[in-house]
Structure 1
């Protein structure tokens, strides 16, 4: 039997569509996750995910829950496209004559996908975290100093925009500024993909119709949810470290970190091991539907359908 060729453009479209739908659905929970992970014992504003979302709506309005969404929606298409297409690419080339992949080869394919995606993931997460956490920083400042005063008079504290943050980072630190936390991102995304893709593939195979038949869409959705939430919780400690490293603006009573090792040491000393699980349930709630939706779009073949309507070029 001839190997089935991968339609890369279709996979890229599937990943992009899935990312846009998924991010729109779960972004408020992701914002709560970032703020919960960033708050330290000396500056606690939120007690839970629901408390965080309620206080965000009160202080920043409904659309405050979507701070940083524009960055995510802009970059999630290439990020998800690279992740899903790279995994497909590596699985295809690691398979021998169309035979089923071994678990080790499935993990290698996931490792390759996780490594490729950080090209887009790191700057996307960097800007997103700055924007998501800006409201928490402003609230902290207002608690200590209700109104900022300059020689010209009182000044209303405002959160920066994505463009302002990007310009500032590029001006002060160049392109490297957008890649702060790259090591932590690799430490999170590579293990995530090593766990997620083999787990999803094996769960999805359990629901297949016959030997060669595809799994029903609901099986793909449930498999994506289970695999996504499992992998998300497993790598949450590294996600906490990455979030702390990529948050450049901190409250006056909050620690700053020089690197991964320094971050681990300070968190353990001042907050204890439990701090590495901050936002774990939020992250599971974000990742489960995100990857469930992604896999449904991917396996329904939305990209293939779109490409089928485009005029074909004659050779």
Structure 2
């Protein structure tokens, strides 16, 4: 029997909608995770995720937890669309009689991770907003007469980065990003597929939505913790604003060496529980929404070309 063809446009729509809804739900936790990871020993403003969220609300208001969300959604929507659709695409073309070996599942995940888009602008926005928030919460560190710092917009970030660093600045930390995202996808997609298959109804029947949700949560949190050390390195490399007492890094190797020397191995686990709390519901929600088939439903209304 011929393999069922997949509709790549429909999968891209499904992935985009899944990313949009998932990121909206978990954005405050993701913001706290990024701010916690970027802290160094010399400038510790937040002691925990809850402390970070409380101070953010206190200094920036409730909607401060969603500042930068527009940038993140703009980046993550196509990123999730590409990532989820690419995995299905590679799995489809690597399968034989509808079956995949574990190695081919991992290969499909590797392809999906390589295809996804970097979240550089969102990370820079989080870091710069954290700096502005720190100045609000710690006014004694700001010189008298200093004008209050305003949070930068995405366009201001882009212009400043291009002016100071050039086009290459947009790709700073790209190597660390790939080192994080490719292993994440290699772990996540095969684990999710196998967990989800355990709950399927019959041979070809779909798994109930709660099985897909729980499978996404478990696979996502497992992969997130596994690659958290590289996520810390990526966050440090892509940070733009640093205090005078904070380290700067020339590359991945230099970053690893300085973190080990100055902060110890435990620094590589910074934000791990926050990252797991972000990734688990994000991918659980995203997988459920992705399997709803909104893209196929929308495209079904388009007129079909006559052969």
* TM-score (norm: length of structure 2): 0.95
Using the alignment, how far apart are the partners of 1:90 and 1:112 within structure 2?
7
Q: CA deviation at 1:166?
A: 0.5
* TM-score (norm: length of structure 1): 0.93
Q: Please name the residue that 2:124 is paired with.
A: 130
Q: CA deviation at 1:81?
A: 0.9
Alpha-carbon contact 2:60-2:133 (below 8 Å) kept: no
Alpha-carbon contact 1:35-1:133 (below 8 Å) kept: yes
Using the alignment, how far apart are the partners of 1:146 and 1:113 within structure 2?
45
Using the alignment, how far apart are the partners of 2:77 and 2:193 within structure 1?
22
CA change 1:258–1:144 in 2 (3 A) is: farther
Look up the SS of the partner of 1:41 in the other structure: coil
Q: Please name the residue that 2:3 is paired with.
A: 3
Q: CA deviation at 1:234?
A: 0.5
Per mean C-alpha deviation after superposition, the further-off stretch among 3-12 and 137-146 is: 137-146
Using the alignment, how far apart are the partners of 2:237 and 2:213 within structure 1?
33
Using the alignment, how far apart are the partners of 2:7 and 2:102 within structure 1?
24
Per mean C-alpha deviation after superposition, the further-off stretch among 164-173 and 217-226 is: 164-173
Using the alignment, how far apart are the partners of 2:173 and 2:104 within structure 1?
28
Alpha-carbon contact 1:148-1:155 (below 8 Å) kept: no
Q: How many residues align?
A: 306
Q: Please name the residue that 2:152 is paired with.
A: 160
Q: CA deviation at 1:49?
A: 0.2
Q: Please name the residue that 1:53 is paired with.
A: 53
Q: Which runs of 5+ in 2 are unaligned?
A: none
Cα deviation 1:195-219 (Å, max 9, x = unaligned): 0000000000000111111111111
Q: CA deviation at 1:20?
A: 0.5
Taking the TM superposition and a 5 Å limit, the aligned residue runs for 1:1-315 are 1-98=1-98, 100-117=99-116, 120-121=117-118, 125-141=119-135, 143=138, 145-148=140-143, 154-314=146-306
Q: Which runs of 5+ in 1 are unaligned?
A: none
